[in-house]
C-alpha cells in the first residue's frame, strides 16, 4: 500500500502532495522546455506516457536508474532515482552504456524504428472509432495509448547514441580548438537533417506556386483566417490546394509548438500553414537548397581545419575521424526523432482522442469532442461502459485549467537540483541581473538585430514577420517556417544540443538559448541585438 501523501512545507502558492515520502528526497524539475504551460488532465496523462518512455531507456541499458514523472497543478515535473550509491561508478556505467549503442543506432533507427513507427501510427488511425459499439470502443482505448507508448520507448532508446556521439565530437573539437564557443564544434554536422530540409523545400515550392498566380497571391495576403475550401474556390485555387494537400499528407503532423496533446497540427488546422505561406509571399525566405549547400560546405571546411591541426598527431586524428563519422551518421536523429515521434505520435493520438470525444458526445457524456481533454485517461473507458453526465465536471476543470495557466510554478521542488549531467542539452539557467542585458549560451553563430517577437505558442506564429527576433520558451520542428524567415532566436531554455539550437544551426539562424527569463524580460517589439557566439543579448 502506498504511504499516506505528505504535504511539503512552503508550497502555499503551488500546493501539491508527495505520493511517497521518499519522493521528497528527490529533485523534481519542471520541464519548461517541452511543456512550458499548464496542461489539461488528458494532456497531463499523455506526459506520463512520455515519462514511461524515458524510464524505458534505463531499463533497456540495464542501468540502476528510474525516471519518475508527476503532473502537479497542470505542470509536468520529472525526477531521477539512482540506486547505485557510488556516483562516480554510476557516471562511468552510464557513459559506457551510452557509448555502447552509438555503433548500432544507425541500423536500429533506419531498419527498425522507421519501419515500426508508421505501422504503430497506422494501427491507431485504423481503429474504427465511428462504428465500434461502446463496449468495443472502451476496449480499444488502452491499446491505442499503448501503441503511442511504444513509440516513446523507441524515442528514448533511439536518441541515446546520437546525443552521446555529438557530445563526444564536441568534447574532442573543444580540446583541439581552444576557446571555441559552446556551439562551434556542432557546426561540423549542420545542414544534414533531411526531414527539416524537406519541410522547408516543400514550403518553398508552395510559395513559388502561389507567387505565380496573382489572384491567389493577393487573396492569401489579404485573408484573415484563410481556409482550404475558400482557396479552392478561387481561379486556379484547386491546383494550389492539391499541392498543399500533398504537403500536409507528408508533413501535416507538424504545427504544435510544444508537447501538449491539446494543440492541433497543420493537418487538423490547415489555416495555420496558410498563414505561414502568406508570410513567404510578403518576403520570400532564402533559397533552401543554397542555404543547405552553404552550411554543409562550412561544416566540411571546419572539419578540414581540425584535420590540419591534428596532422602531426595520427592517433587523435583517427579519433576525430571516427567521432565525426559517428556524428554525421546518426547525429541528425537528435532532431529527426522529434519529427517522427514527438510530433507524429502527438498528432496521431490527438486524432484518435478527438474521434473518441465525438462518440462521448453521442453517449451524452460531454458537450463537444474537445471536452475529452478535460477527462482523465482512466475515466474514458468507464464512461462508455457506464455513462454519466460529465459536462459540469468538464466546466469545472476548464475553469481550474484557466487558473493554472496564470500560475508561475517553481522550477524545482524537493531537493535542490544538481547541475545537469548533459549540459549541452539544457544548461542550468540563471537570470541576468545586469540592466539591458541577458546572458545565455551561444548556440548558433552570427550577429542579429531586430524587433523582438515574444512567441509563447503557435497562436503567436502569425505575428512573426521576416527579420524579427523570435523570443520563446523553446522550439521544435514545427517552428521551421518561422526559422526560415526570422532574423534571430532567443530562448528561455536549452543548451547547444536542444531542439531550438539544432534547428537554428540547420537554418543558419543566429541563436542564444538558455537565458532563463527572456520571455518576461524582453517586451514584444523591443529592439534587441544578439550574439550567437558569445550568448549575449542586449536590449536596445
State the pLDDT at residue 481.
85
C-alpha cell at 499: 531542439
Asked whether 387 and 365 are in contact (CB, 8 A), the reply is yes
State the pLDDT at residue 430.
61
State the pLDDT at residue 512.
95
State the pLDDT at residue 420.
54
| Chain-centroid distance, C-alpha 266 | 15
Q: What is residue 247's DSSP assignment?
A: H
Low pLDDT (below 70) residues in the chain: 1-11, 419-423, 428-433
| Three-state DSSP string of 145-195 | HHHHHHHHHHHHHHCHHHHHHHHHHHHHHHHHCCCCCCCCHHHHHCCCCHH
Task: Give how far Cα 76 sits from Cα of 160, 496, 519, Å.
Answer: 22, 23, 20
State the pLDDT at residue 2.
35
Asked whether 305 and 188 are in contact (CB, 8 A), the reply is no
Exposed e or buried b per residue across 86-117, where buried means at least 16 C-beta atoms within 10 angstroms of its C-beta: eeeebeebbeebbbebbeebeebbeeebeeeb
State the pLDDT at residue 216.
93
Model-level pTM greater than 0.95?
no
* Domains, in order of start, for the chain: 1-158+332-417 (no CATH), 164-189+289-331 (no CATH), 194-285 (no CATH), 437-539 (3.50.30.10)
Closest to 287 (Cα-Cα) out of 208, 221, 212, 220: 208
Asked whether 506 and 490 are in contact (CB, 8 A), the reply is no
State the pLDDT at residue 9.
46
The total number of residues shown for the chain amounts to: 540
| Three-state DSSP string of 407-418 | CCCCCEEECCCC
Torsion of CA 49, 51, 57, 59, to 10 degrees: -90
Going edge to edge, which strands form the sheet with 469-472?
437-439, 536-539, 527-531, 447-454, 469-472, 488-491, 511-513, 441-444
C-alpha cell at 312: 602531426
Asked whether 515 and 234 are in contact (CB, 8 A), the reply is no
388 Cβ contact partners less than 8 Å away, ≥ 6 residues apart:
365
Amino acid at each position: 500500500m502506498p504511504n499516506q501523501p505528505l504535504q511539503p512545507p512552503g508550497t502555499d502558492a503551488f500546493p501539491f502532495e508527495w505520493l511517497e515520502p521518499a519522493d521528497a528526497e528527490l529533485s523534481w524539475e519542471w520541464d519548461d522546455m517541452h511543456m512550458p504551460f499548464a496542461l489539461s488532465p488528458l494532456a497531463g496523462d499523455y506526459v506520463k506516457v512520455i515519462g514511461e518512455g524515458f524510464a524505458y531507456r534505463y531499463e533497456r541499458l540495464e542501468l540502476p536508474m528510474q525516471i519518475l514523472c508527476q503532473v502537479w497543478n497542470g505542470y509536468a515535473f520529472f525526477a531521477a532515482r539512482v540506486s547505485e550509491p557510488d556516483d562516480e561508478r554510476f557516471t562511468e556505467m552510464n557513459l559506457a552504456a551510452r557509448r555502447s549503442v552509438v555503433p548500432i543506432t544507425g541500423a536500429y533507427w533506419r531498419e527498425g524504428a522507421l519501419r515500426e513507427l508508421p505501422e504503430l501510427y497506422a494501427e491507431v488511425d485504423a481503429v474504427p472509432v465511428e462504428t465500434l459499439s461502446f463496449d468495443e470502443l472502451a476496449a480499444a482505448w488502452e491499446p491505442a495509448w499503448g501503441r503511442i507508448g511504444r513509440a516513446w520507448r523507441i524515442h528514448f532508446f533511439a536518441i541515446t547514441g546520437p546525443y552521446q556521439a555529438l557530445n563526444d565530437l564536441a568534447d574532442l573539437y573543444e580540446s583541439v580548438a581552444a576557446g571555441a564557443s559552446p556551439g562551434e564544434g556542432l557546426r561540423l554536422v549542420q545542414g544534414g537533417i533531411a526531414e527539416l530540409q524537406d519541410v522547408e523545400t516543400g514550403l518553398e515550392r508552395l510559395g513559388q506556386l502561389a507567387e505565380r498566380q496573382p489572384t491567389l497571391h493577393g487573396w492569401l495576403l489579404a485573408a484573415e483566417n484563410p481556409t482550404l475550401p475558400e482557396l479552392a474556390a478561387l481561379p486556379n485555387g484547386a491546383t494550389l490546394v492539391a499541392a498543399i494537400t500533398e504537403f500536409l499528407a507528408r508533413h501535416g503532423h507538424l504545427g504544435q509548438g510544444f508537447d501538449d496533446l491539446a494543440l492541433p497540427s497543420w493537418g487538423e488546422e490547415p489555416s495555420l500553414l496558410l498563414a505561414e505561406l502568406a508570410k513567404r509571399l510578403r518576403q520570400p525566405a532564402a533559397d533552401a537548397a543554397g542555404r543547405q549547400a552553404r552550411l554543409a560546405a562550412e561544416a566540411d571546411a571546419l572539419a578540414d581545419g581540425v584535420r590540419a591541426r591534428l596532422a602531426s598527431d595520427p592517433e587523435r586524428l583517427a579519433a576525430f575521424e571516427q567521432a565525426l563519422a559517428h556524428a554525421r551518421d546518426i547525429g541528425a536523429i537528435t532532431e529527426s526523432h522529434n519529427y517522427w515521434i514527438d510530433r507524429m505520435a502527438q498528432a496521431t493520438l490527438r486524432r484518435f482522442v478527438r474521434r473518441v470525444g465525438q462518440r462521448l458526445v453521442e453517449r451524452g457524456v460531454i458537450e463537444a469532442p474537445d471536452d475529452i481533454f478535460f477527462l482523465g485517461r482512466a475515466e474514458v473507458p468507464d464512461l462508455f461502459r457506464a455513462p454519466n453526465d460529465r459536462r459540469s465536471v468538464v466546466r469545472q476543470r476548464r475553469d481550474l485549467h484557466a487558473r493554472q495557466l496564470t500560475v508561475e510554478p517553481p522550477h524545482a521542488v524537493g531537493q535542490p537540483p544538481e547541475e545537469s549531467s548533459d549540459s549541452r542539452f539544457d544548461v542550468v539557467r540563471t537570470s541576468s541581473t545586469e540592466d539591458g542585458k541577458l546572458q545565455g549560451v551561444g548556440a548558433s553563430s552570427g550577429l542579429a538585430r531586430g524587433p523582438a517577437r515574444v512567441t509563447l505558442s503557435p497562436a503567436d506564429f502569425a505575428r512573426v514577420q521576416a527579420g524579427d527576433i523570435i523570443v520563446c520558451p523553446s522550439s521544435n520542428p514545427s517552428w521551421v517556417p518561422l526559422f526560415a524567415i526570422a532574423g534571430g532566436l532567443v530562448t528561455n531554455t536549452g543548451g547547444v544540443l536542444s531542439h531550438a539550437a539544432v534547428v537554428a544551426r540547420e537554418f543558419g539562424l543566429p541563436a542564444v538559448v538558455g537565458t532563463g527569463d527572456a520571455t518576461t524580460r524582453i517586451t514584444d517589439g523591443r529592439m534587441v541585438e544578439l550574439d550567437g557566439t558569445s550568448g549575449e543579448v542586449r536590449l536596445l
